[in-house]
């Protein structure tokens, strides 16, 4: 009788393990694990190489290089139409509202020399660093965000306009993720763009 009970317990345990494995494999569970990982780290750095890869995947770009120093991201790109583009971006403001805007802005120099597809691709890279679950880890192309001119020398981007963010927004975990993972600041360091996440207020 004991042997029979042991076999039954073993079968039940195996079935439970399989059920747990299936739950762990769901997108919601995966997103939750990534959420806790990001909150634990709180700070994230996007290297020159990562930003360069994002810029190079922007629409209409043949080749690109991004270098972070002196408080600015310097972009040098060759476009598929033969045009050469050189400009720099300095992070200015971050505006995140619960269930609302997820906006970042940059001062651009020269004001009329930037390429919106590159700025949008860099914003997509920032969105992926803030919310890693919006795209697979190996993905380099998240789609470009919509870039708007806030003033002659300033650009504004709502990260919700990034195609990968829009796709993720339809998932079960999206509301929780976007409300908990908030970007607090962007700062250019030598060789990288540093992101600081805001820890959620527990009341």
Neighbours of 94 (CB within 10 A): 19
If residue 6 lies in a helix (H) or strand (E), which one and from where to where? helix 2-24
Phi, psi of 198 (to 5 degrees): -90, 125
Which pLDDT tens digits describe the chain residue by residue (203 residues)?
A: 555 545 545 544 554 444 444 434 445 556 566 666 666 667 889 999 999 999 999 999 999 999 999 999 999 999 999 999 999 999 999 998 877 889 999 999 999 888 999 999 999 999 999 988 888 877 767 778 999 999 999 999 999 999 999 988 888 778 778 877 889 999 999 999 999 988 665 44
List b or e across 15-45, with b for residues whose CB sees 16 or more CB atoms inside 10 angstroms. eeeeeeeeeeeeeeeebbebbeebeeeeebe
Neighbours of 185 (CB within 10 A): 14
Q: Is 71 helix (H, G, I), strand (E, B) or coil?
A: coil
């Amino acid at each position: 009788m004991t042997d029979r009970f042991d076999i039954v317990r073993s079968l039940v345990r195996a079935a439970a393990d399989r059920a747990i494995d299936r739950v762990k494999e769901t997108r919601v569970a995966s997103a939750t694990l990534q959420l806790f990982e990001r909150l634990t780290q709180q700070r994230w750095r996007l290297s020159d190489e990562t930003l360069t890869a994002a810029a190079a995947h922007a629409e209409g770009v043949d080749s690109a290089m991004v270098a972070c120093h002196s408080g600015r991201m310097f972009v040098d790109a060759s476009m598929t139409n033969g045009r050469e583009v050189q400009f720099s971006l300095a992070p200015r403001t971050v505006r995140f509202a619960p269930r609302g805007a997820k906006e970042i802005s940059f001062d651009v120099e020269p004001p009329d020399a930037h390429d919106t597809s590159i700025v949008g691709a860099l914003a997509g890279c920032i969105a992926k660093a803030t919310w890693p679950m919006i795209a697979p880890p190996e993905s380099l192309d998240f789609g470009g965000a919509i870039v708007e001119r806030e003033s002659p020398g300033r650009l504004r981007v709502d990260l919700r306009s990034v195609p990968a963010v829009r796709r993720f927004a339809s998932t079960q975990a999206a509301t929780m993720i976007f409300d908990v993972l908030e970007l607090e600041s962007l700062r250019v360091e030598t060789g990288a763009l540093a992101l600081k996440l805001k820890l959620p207020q527990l009341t």
